[in-house]
């Protein structure tokens, strides 16, 4: 995807379709050269890191590609960018599971690189920016690692989180330590995987903070049929995502159903400021507004909307409150990188965790 296309607001998030596109691609029984051409096409569309991550997720599911084809394809698509990305992830991304690192090591070897085989790590360990891990971070790693319910949610509900994902560690940290009395807000819910994890954590840690989410579930027309087969911009697809979100909340968080407003975050926060009355997607009237204790920003990824999300949250965030920015990890390639660098310069905030995405706490 070109930089211009990437910064265009509300462009369909490529991660939503990437894995299903790989499933279709590898189900086609193409020769190695054909696979390599198509995989290179994906790389030029979304960038090497996203394409490689999706390939690994595909392999962690029910892979449709045979090992000999995988290795042949990897040899053909090899580039210095991929080698550097994999090496950097293996060396520096402590939040990756040992098995993911092993797969990355195998990829590097398939591409002719000499690498030490990484022993699978027992604990995913998000590095807190040059500081030793604090006892609270260690506690969150342990909480998440041992939690069977989160493990099952990640398998059962569609989304991008997996057990051991640093975002889940950061959520555990923020939910446990956030101030009382403010709302938990999620921007961008999709099918409700992160929503249900947040809901579950509020129950687990007996946090009765009000819980809101917002998502417009408006996906752009993909222009052409994906794999000549499916358009992810249709109303049918959109309704499926929204209805599945509702079912997922009712099924997995019946005692902690969030007040989800069908809206982009901009109008959501405008209504928040006004203390407006709304009806949530579960048909319940609710009054928006008040202080905020924790926000997970996972909606738009372009600079303007993410910066605006930060400013909107900042206005109501309680001292000691948290903001977690998805896809803000160094080198992620998303505009979110710029926003978190600016928040880091803001004296009112402290960076408490990079796992590898940025979690900030408001000082005071």
Ligand X SMILES: C[S@@+](CC[C@H](N)C(=O)[O-])C[C@H]1O[C@@H](n2cnc3c(N)ncnc32)[C@H](O)[C@@H]1O
Residues forming the site for ligand X (CB under 6 A): 10, 13, 159-161, 187-190, 193-194, 214-217, 264-265, 298-300, 305
Q: Between residues 13 and 314, which has the closer beta carbon with respect to ligand X?
A: 13
CA dihedral for 238, 241, 244, 249, sign (positive or negative): negative
Least Cβ distance, residue 93 to ligand X (angstroms): 18
Least Cβ distance, residue 122 to ligand X (angstroms): 25
Q: Between residues 77 and 187, which has the closer beta carbon with respect to ligand X?
A: 187
Least Cβ distance, residue 172 to ligand X (angstroms): 15
CB atoms within 10 A of CB 359: 27
Q: Between residues 125 and 214, which has the closer beta carbon with respect to ligand X?
A: 214
- DSSP SS3 for 202: helix
Pairwise CA distance, residues 213 & 197, whole Å: 13
Q: Between residues 21 and 38, which has the closer beta carbon with respect to ligand X?
A: 21
Secondary structure in 3-state letters for 12-69: CCHHHHHHHHHHHHHCCCCCHHHHHHHHHHHHHHHCHHHHHHHHHHHHHCCCCCCHHH
Phi-psi region of 279 (alpha: psi -120 to 50; beta: other; left: phi over 0): beta
Q: Between residues 215 and 335, which has the closer beta carbon with respect to ligand X?
A: 215
Q: Between residues 124 and 159, which has the closer beta carbon with respect to ligand X?
A: 159
Q: Between residues 72 and 266, which has the closer beta carbon with respect to ligand X?
A: 266
Least Cβ distance, residue 296 to ligand X (angstroms): 7
For residue 316, give the H/E element and its range.
helix 303-316
Pairwise CA distance, residues 86 & 83, whole Å: 5
Least Cβ distance, residue 100 to ligand X (angstroms): 18
Q: Between residues 18 and 300, which has the closer beta carbon with respect to ligand X?
A: 300
The total number of residues written for the chain in this structure:
364
Contact 324/174 with Cβ under 8 angstroms?
A: yes
Pairwise CA distance, residues 214 & 187, whole Å: 5
Least Cβ distance, residue 335 to ligand X (angstroms): 13
Q: Between residues 74 and 297, which has the closer beta carbon with respect to ligand X?
A: 297
For residue 167, give the H/E element and its range.
helix 166-177
Least Cβ distance, residue 295 to ligand X (angstroms): 11
Pairwise CA distance, residues 357 & 324, whole Å: 7
DSSP string covering 76-123: HH--HHHHHHHHHHHHH-TTS-HHHHHHHHHHHHHTT---PPPPPPSS
Least Cβ distance, residue 36 to ligand X (angstroms): 28
DSSP string covering 281-304: TTS-EEE--S-EEEEEE-S--SHH
Q: Between residues 56 and 171, which has the closer beta carbon with respect to ligand X?
A: 171
Only one residue has tokens 């997922």, namely 248
Least Cβ distance, residue 344 to ligand X (angstroms): 23
Pairwise CA distance, residues 151 & 159, whole Å: 13
């Amino acid at each position: 995807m070109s930089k211009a296309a990437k910064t265009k607001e509300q462009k369909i998030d490529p991660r939503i379709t990437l894995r299903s596109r790989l499933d279709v691609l590898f189900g086609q029984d193409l020769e190695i050269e054909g696979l390599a051409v198509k995989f290179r096409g994906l790389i030029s569309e979304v960038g090497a890191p996203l394409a490689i991550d999706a390939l690994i997720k595909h392999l962690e599911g029910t892979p449709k590609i045979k090992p000999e084809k995988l290795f042949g394809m990897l040899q053909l698509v090899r580039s210095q960018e991929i080698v550097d990305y994999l090496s950097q992830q293996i060396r520096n991304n402590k939040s990756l599971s040992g098995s993911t690192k092993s797969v990355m090591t195998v990829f590097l070897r398939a591409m002719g690189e000499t690498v030490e085989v990484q022993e699978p790590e027992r604990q995913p360990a998000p590095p807190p920016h040059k500081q030793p891990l604090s006892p609270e971070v260690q506690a969150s790693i342990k909480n998440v690692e041992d939690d069977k319910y989160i493990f099952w949610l990640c398998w059962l509900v569609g989304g991008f989180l997996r057990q051991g994902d640093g975002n889940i560690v950061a959520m555990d940290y923020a939910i446990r330590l956030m101030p009382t009395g403010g709302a938990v807000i999620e921007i961008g819910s999709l099918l409700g995987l992160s929503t249900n994890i947040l809901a579950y954590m509020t129950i687990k840690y007996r946090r009765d903070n009000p819980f809101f989410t917002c998502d417009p579930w408006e996906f752009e027309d993909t222009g052409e049929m994906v794999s000549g087969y499916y358009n992810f911009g249709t109303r049918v697809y959109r309704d499926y995502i929204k209805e599945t979100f509702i079912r997922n909340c009712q099924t997995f968080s019946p005692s902690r159903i969030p007040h989800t407003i069908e809206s982009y975050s901009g109008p959501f926060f405008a209504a928040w400021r006004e203390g407006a009355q709304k009806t949530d997607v579960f048909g319940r009237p609710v009054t928006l507004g008040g202080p905020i204790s924790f926000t997970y920003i996972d909606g738009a990824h372009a600079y303007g909307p993410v910066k605006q999300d930060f400013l909107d949250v900042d206005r109501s965030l309680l001292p000691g409150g948290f903001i977690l920015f998805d896809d803000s990890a160094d080198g992620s390639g998303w505009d979110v990188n710029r926003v978190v660098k600016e928040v880091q310069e803001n004296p009112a905030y402290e960076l408490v965790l990079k796992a590898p995405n940025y979690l900030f706490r408001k000082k005071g």
